[in-house]
Amino acid sequence: MALPAPNLDDRRFQNLVDDAKRLVQRRCPEWTDHNVSDPGVTLIETFAYMTDQVIYRLNRVPDRNYIRFLELLGVHLFPPTAARTGVTFWLSAPQDQPIVVPIGVEVATPRTEAVGSSVAFTTTDELSIVPCEMTYVGSIPVDGTWRDHTDSISLSPFSCFSPQPAPDEVLLIGLSTAVPRCAVNIRLDCNIEGIGVDPEWPPLVWEASDGQSWVECELERDTTGGLNRAGEVVLHVPPSHVVSLEHQLRAGWLRARVTTPEEDQPFYSNSPLIRKVEAFTIGGTTEAVQAEVMEGEVLGFSEGVPGQRFDVARAPVVPSGDPVVLEVSDEEEGWQEWSEVSDFSQSQGQDRHFVLDGVGGEVLLGPAVRTAEGELLQYGAVPPKGSVLRVRKYHTGGGRQGNIAQRAIRVCRTTIPYVARVENRHAASGGVDGEDIEEAKIRGPIVLRTLGRAVTAEDYEQLAREAAPEAARVKAVAATSDEEAGGVRVLLVPAVADDEDGKLSFEQLVPSVEMLRSVATFLDTRRTIGARVMVEPPAYQGVTVVAMLRARPWADPARLRATAIDALYSYLHPIRGGMDGTGWPFGRPVHMGEVYALLQRLPGTELVEDVRLFAANPITGERGQAAQRVEVAANALVFSYEHQVRVEEI
């Protein structure tokens, strides 16, 4: 149990007014009008209000001391993290020369009256949109024989697969150069010969060569219906694409490979005929972060004493993946590089170290401590007096407002020749607000208890949050099987935004490989001996709610239906759902009764006629039988899957 904080002065506004009136009656009995309309009473209330504010601030002194104690323990507020997403730059037309998108290009969401201010992103990598053309075309049927159609295609069409196509047969297209991170348009003139396939679901996948293996390309659109009619295929080529040798021909190779059909997927009954193939680059994708990049910012001049502090111009400083470098001018060496450290406990007097307070935007230099023997012990070097300090580069911004939906970015604030439009093909993720004081107060005792070591589940959760502040939720649970005895599962949920229709796609809830790897590496050096740590995403239990409502006479049924569906998606939400809005609790089942209560509270609901719950697989879409209660495993969260609501009018 926490020690109760003392109340240094428990008097309130009304107590002060009553005390003053009693003193008036004792010291000045001729003053008999004590109504609130009396000017003298007004003055009493004014001074009572001011005194009440002083008492309130006095009672905040224990909180201030508590915060200072946390600082002595090394507890600092976590800064916000910036959301990231890929931004595609589409060209107005194919170009003959490379189009370079430099670092620092600013793109943003449109500013509307409903949304308010726009959300800006800045590119972090240079993108070169390289022009290309088709130089080779060939095919490899099921027997593995290479067939070159580069010269014969101008004379007659060719069958890109065997007369009876089989899985793993390929159509290869060689480009004049490698086009990593670019969008390539492949125009094909095809005859409708591949009868039997579904044009919207062909058994076909496009891949790019990285010199050693084939990496799948992201398909933007395919108007050929699986190589069945004239049209175009737009591919987003992965960053690993390189020029390589295929059958003694050097090119940037792409291929269309026939896949093994899934259950109920139609397959080719004949090979498509190709009459013409063209290829050109129409865009490219680069990484962007929801933060402003500040470069070469001068902080000031050194006074040549220990413990100096310098403020950056734009706070907070958000993590960017690259270390922040402090540069100090030197007459002999030019600019010296100083490294960022978490604290000065291991710094020696000659070490060029600094500490960065990301929340306050403050750069701290090493202090000097006087020992019991009277000597001055220096932690970290001191810049010479008069030297200039500057930060090479840092990012400012961040927060969960950057978790925007896919295709929300449509404005390019930096003019780039021949770029017609921009968009983000995937939702941005990773944006988390900075930690507040109340959260730090809760974390402080845990930090003091753990001291950088993971023993309990709470320790693992705390350390995982330090390693991945961009995670929306972290949960540590004990292993559930005998084979994993002595192990712990650390479950990570990335910070994401809902789609435009209010839904959350299942793919968004999968944390990145980099996040999982960084947390696993961080915990591996802090776990107890013999403990096995598994860092992974949680399991997700899909839940489908089918409900029938009766609307009030004045209510709009269509609006009530939309409100009910939104309420279900918000309540059964893995990140912001549940009773307190902080995310559905891990392992908590879903009861039919709480769904009844949720729908009955909606404005316009006269009566909830019927509610049915179905357990669903969010990957396959399969649903179970109707149930009163949907169980959720200890390492699982709820995932809303295709709720259905019907509204009847009275």
Q: Is 394 exposed, middle or buried (0-12, 13-18, 19+ CB in 10 A)?
A: buried
Query: Tokens in use for 170?
Result: 């390929």
- The rounded distance, in Å, linking the Cα atoms of 91 and 183 is 10
Q: Which position has the higher pLDDT, 120 or 61?
A: 120
Give me the percent of the chain exceeding a pLDDT of 90.
38
- The rounded distance, in Å, linking the Cα atoms of 542 and 584 is 13
Q: Which position has the higher pLDDT, 18 or 218?
A: 218
Around Cβ 85, how many Cβ atoms within 10 Å? 25
pLDDT tens-digit readout, 414-449: 889 999 999 999 888 888 888 887 777 777 777 777
| pLDDT in the model for residue 406 | 87
Around Cβ 153, how many Cβ atoms within 10 Å? 18
Three-state secondary structure call for residue 267: coil
pLDDT tens-digit readout, 254-299: 999 999 988 788 888 888 888 889 999 999 999 999 988 888 999 9
Q: Any idea which of 203-212, 452-461, 474-483 has the lowest mean pLDDT?
A: 474-483
Nearest 5°: phi and psi at 421?
-160, 165
pLDDT tens-digit readout, 508-550: 888 888 889 989 999 998 888 888 888 999 989 999 999 999 9
Mean model confidence pLDDT for the chain: 86
**CA proximity to 466, closest of 448, 491, 488, 443:** 443
| pLDDT in the model for residue 15 | 85
| pLDDT in the model for residue 2 | 40
Mean pLDDT for the stretch of residues 468-491 = 81
pLDDT tens-digit readout, 372-401: 888 888 999 999 999 999 999 898 888 888
- The rounded distance, in Å, linking the Cα atoms of 441 and 591 is 34
Residue 143 has pLDDT above 70, yes or no: yes
Q: How confident is residue 502, by pLDDT bands cut at 50, 70 and 90?
A: low
Residue 1 has pLDDT above 60, yes or no: no
Mean pLDDT for the stretch of residues 349-364 = 89
- The rounded distance, in Å, linking the Cα atoms of 54 and 489 is 49
Three-state secondary structure call for residue 45: helix
Residue 641 has pLDDT above 90, yes or no: no
> Contacts from 152-157 at CB under 8 Å and sequence distance 24+?
153/274, 153/275, 153/276, 153/277, 157/191, 157/273, 157/274, 157/275
- The rounded distance, in Å, linking the Cα atoms of 8 and 11 is 9
The predicted model scores a pTM of 0.71
- The rounded distance, in Å, linking the Cα atoms of 114 and 456 is 46
pLDDT tens-digit readout, 241-263: 999 998 889 999 999 999 998 87
Residue 320 has pLDDT above 70, yes or no: yes
Q: How confident is residue 61, by pLDDT bands cut at 50, 70 and 90?
A: low
| pLDDT in the model for residue 352 | 93
